Amino acid sequence: MLLIKNVTLVDALGERGPADVLIGEGRILSLSGGEAERILDGKGLLLAPGFLDLHAHLREPGQEVKEDLASGLLAAVRGGYTDIVSMPNTTPPVDTPEAVRALRKKAQALGLARLHPAAALTQGQEGKALTEAGLLKEAGASLLTDDGRTNEDTGVLAAGLLGAAVFGLPVAVHAEDTSLRRGGVTNDGPLADLLGLPGNPPEAEAARIARDLEVLRYAVRRSQKKPHLHIQHLSTKRGLELVREAKRAGLPVTAEATPHHLTLTEEALRSFDPLFKVAPPLRTQEDVEALIEGLLEGTLDALATDHAPHTQAEKEMDLLRAPFGIPSLEVAFPLLYTELHLKRGFPLKRLVELFTDGPRNILGLKPIHLEEGAEANLVLLDPKEGPVDPRGFASKAKFSPWAGWTLGGWPVLTLVEGRVVYQALE
């Protein structure tokens, strides 16, 4: 039994408390105290449901030098995540029920965050032959995606949406038109021209989202079951507008945004540091403002990290050769708590919802609210400020664009099914 006294509760329902939260048997037993072996003083701290990340690259199998389940899932619980969706663009890709089962089994044995592997939409993520949606679902796949690849064949994407709908699986898409993107490494515009960097136009995202929404419209018309299209890492104002219009028209579409697209702009590329090289690229301040508006109004349903670890040496290449991606599991919440909530007054309730119920809804999981009887998947957060120091990351990628930033809202205790899986309490 664990008792957290005088703690403020925050979930999608709002902020309340203080409460004395008694945890045992994997559940919240009481919000008004009780007998416990261990008592923590929660005064000044926030207790929230554990976070779910829809979009993490844990690199296993095949690229364990960048990250593996052990380091990735430890990074997750240090970031307050109790549930993680791993992307299937591993080597080889996760495109069979056996591969999904193997990942889940290994993750369960680690006893850290719970893994909900995404599986590839097409065999080998090649965009040609579909994978076995039903068998993948039975094996425990949480969604289907060729993330990292962009489903060039419209007919295959349509068939994939129809097939996944039968089994209630969302199909997530990396929305970029590769022929318009060409070799772009930064936002296409005057700054890219000035810096001499090949640009990735915002229209490459919008063009692909527009197509994907038409494919969704087709799937809705053709299917007896409701398809679900999820758009990953939205980065542009125009892309957001398209999703907003589609939602108003009643299309079953959801979308996510990442911490980096909300806190950094293309200006970071003036340093020519490949640390800031991501796909889709960092955009303009106008896009950032639009995304924040999208989070507030609900056009965006979830915050997802797109945690993409690489080796230091790879990120010390030039901008053309270095890989895309930023590791962010361990800083996502403090970053957005500080930059959105503290600095811009973004409502804490909505922020927490975007880390918890928002992504859970997308996967068809029940919401977790802090009430008696709720599963004890919880995170305790400390508003006290401290610096980002990537040298201390559990992730193997020990670099960060936010290194040296001072943030509050750090997770100090993470519970999965009532077990303490991470603690940094003095």
- The answer to the question of residue 404 lying near another protein (CB under 8 A) is no
Binding residue for another protein (CB under 8 A) from 64, 132, 314, 375?
Answer: 314
Q: Which stretch binds another protein (CB under 8 A): 126-134, 188-196, 212-220, 225-233?
A: 188-196
Our CA dihedral for 284, 290, 294, 299, rounded to 10 degrees, sits at -90
Q: Is residue 417 within 8 Å of residue 375, measured between CB atoms?
A: yes
Q: Which stretch binds another protein (CB under 8 A): 99-107, 169-177, 227-235, 313-321?
A: 313-321
Site string for another protein, 239-278 (x = CB under 8 A): --------------------------------xxx-----
**Closer residue to another protein (CB): 94 or 282:** 282
**Closer residue to another protein (CB): 182 or 366:** 182
Angle (CA) 364 370 372, round 5°: 105
Q: Which stretch binds another protein (CB under 8 A): 187-195, 259-267, 381-389, 403-411?
A: 187-195
Count of C-beta atoms within a 10 Å radius of residue 424 = 12
Residue 273 CB partners (closer than 8 Å, separation 6+): none
Residues 321-360 that bind another protein (CB under 8 A): 321
- The answer to the question of residue 65 lying near another protein (CB under 8 A) is no
Rounded least distance, CB 90 to another protein, Å: 19
- The answer to the question of residue 197 lying near another protein (CB under 8 A) is yes
- The answer to the question of residue 64 lying near another protein (CB under 8 A) is no
Nearest to 307 by CA among 102, 26, 84: 84
How far is Cα 190 from Cα 54, in angstroms, rounded to an integer? 33
Q: Which residues pair with 231 in a beta bridge?
A: 173, 255
Angle between helices 285-297 and 237-248 (to 10 degrees): 20
**Closer residue to another protein (CB): 34 or 198:** 198
Residues 82-121 that bind another protein (CB under 8 A): none
Q: Which residues pair with 22 in a beta bridge?
A: 3, 30
Residue 214 CB partners (closer than 8 Å, separation 6+): none
Give the count of residues interacting with another protein (CB under 8 A). 20
How far is Cα 315 from Cα 331, in angstroms, rounded to an integer? 19
- Catalytic positions, written as ranges: 306
- The answer to the question of residue 317 lying near another protein (CB under 8 A) is yes
Give the footprint of another protein on this chain (CB under 8 A). 182, 189-190, 193-198, 271-273, 313-314, 316-321
